[in-house]
Amino acid sequence: MGHFTVPAWPRPAPNALRNLQAVLESGRWSLPGPWQGHASAEARFAAHFADFLGAPHCVPTTNGSSALVVAMEALDVGVGDEVIVPGLTWVANASTVLAVNATPVMVDIDPSTLCASPTAIEAAVTERTRAIVVVHLFSSVVDLDAVLAIGERHGIPVIEDCSHAHGASWRGRRVGTWGTVGTFSMQEKKLLTSGEGGAVVCRDPDLADRMFQLRSDGRRLAARPVEGESELVADCSVAGTNYCMSELCAAVLDAQLEALPEQNLRRAENAATVDKLLQELPGLAPVRALPSVTERTYYQYAVRIDREAFGGVTAETVSRALAAETGLPFQTPYPPMYRHPLHRPRTKRRFLLVGRDPSRLDGPAGGLPETERAHREVLTLHHSVLLAPAGAFETLPAAIEKLQQQAGSLRAVESAR
């Protein structure tokens, strides 16, 4: 197979430069800047993103991590509390819990979706559980019916982390609008991006007001803004932090949002093509979405391998060999959270507070078997690959068959590492 040319990402949407130029010449580059007699770029993006999701309220933030912090602070998560998080996800899902002085409780995944297992979530609930954070991972959506039922049964709010799922839908409604709060990241690799950025969405107007203040140093929008003066006023009911999105990021996101539906459609079409190409091969099984997922998005295309078909080696060895053979940037999933090199809670004294058992910061004592297995058996491809022209993947099966035939060489490579 000839080497694959991966489409560039990020790529500017057609109106991105126009939007940026308007902000650059506006005299207002940040939300606290002087009001110019019209809605800020941030307010316009918030309205458009809320409309896209079908969410009554959207509050932009600096990034996805600050969105999670704002969501948890708004729900009054703090010292002595526990927050349930998946064991397979980016490290911020644990570090943000620690940042609000609560304890992340890592749970195992459902092997069919790679998302948090509802059974594991239920088993992890204690009298200290203050929130459940679920992540719609890679190209899947967690079993929202089961998770929301757990939350309702125990009176625990559910936070949907949709950083991988801009535009995905469950039973005809966008993810992020099912839980108490939905959070999004717009970091450079995401489906919707301005380099950095984030957002929180919800249905409760009082919760939205609280989240707005929490990310605006406690300030609210003035009822009657004065041109040339800041639109934010110190009319606060809660102490906040400055997590405001810049006007430049908001301008880019507003343009990128216009391009998102067509890009998501293109990714889904190419993912279906890859599914068909792989279905006849032994030893590979694309990760499927649950039947209730009515619109699927692909932050990463994920496929599980039968290691025996590749000589018993791990997904890491297969991913490196496939990347060398094809030019496709195959990777393995995140390592389990408790083994992630960036999960280092003991390096910050502020995470070791009275009322918290320090040993619990390191994750479950017995590990998480399905999370560990996914790291050994799953291959992923970044969504930019799925923006390639039709027909770009036709020779992928031959490359995979070649590796399977060279299983002995794969074993030797793995043994040498």
pLDDT along the chain (417 residues), means of 10: 79 96 96 94 98 98 98 95 97 95 95 97 97 98 98 98 98 98 98 98 98 96 93 91 97 98 97 92 94 98 94 92 90 94 87 70 86 96 93 88 86 78
CATH topology for 16-259?
A: Aspartate Aminotransferase; domain 2 (3.40.640)
Residue 354, judged by CB atoms within 10 A of its CB (0-12, 13-18, 19+), counts as exposed
* b/e map 198-208, b = 16+ CB within 10 Å: bbbbbbeeebb
Any alpha helices (H) in 290-394, and if so which ranges?
Answer: 315-326, 369-377
Report helix angle 369-377 to 315-326, nearest 10.
30
Any alpha helices (H) in 112-246, and if so which ranges?
Answer: 118-124, 144-154, 205-214
- Residues in contact with 88: Cβ distance below 8 Å, sequence separation at least 6, in sequence order: 109, 114, 137, 333, 334, 336, 337, 368, 371, 374, 375
Q: Is the dihedral of CA 190, 207, 32, 47 positive or negative?
A: positive
What are the start and end residues of each CATH 3.40.640.10 domain in the chain? 16-259
Domain 261-333+371-416 part of CATH 3.90.550.10: no
Q: What is the pLDDT of residue 417?
A: 75
Closest to 369 (Cα-Cα) out of 103, 38, 111: 111
Using only C-alpha atoms, the chain has a radius of gyration, in whole angstroms, of 22
Helix (H, G, I), strand (E, B) or coil at 32: coil
Any alpha helices (H) in 155-246, and if so which ranges?
Answer: 205-214
Chain-centroid distance, C-alpha 371: 17
What are the start and end residues of each CATH 3.90.1150.10 domain in the chain? 261-333+371-416
Kindly list the catalytic residues: 190
Residue 18, judged by CB atoms within 10 A of its CB (0-12, 13-18, 19+), counts as exposed
Q: What is the pLDDT of residue 355?
A: 63
* Phi, psi dihedrals of residue 144, rounded to the nearest 5°: -65, -35
Q: What is the pLDDT of residue 2?
A: 55
Q: What is the pLDDT of residue 53?
A: 98
Q: What is the pLDDT of residue 351?
A: 78
Closest to 387 (Cα-Cα) out of 298, 256, 303, 321: 298
Q: What is the pLDDT of residue 272?
A: 96
DSSP β-ladder status, 232-233 and 284-286 = unpaired
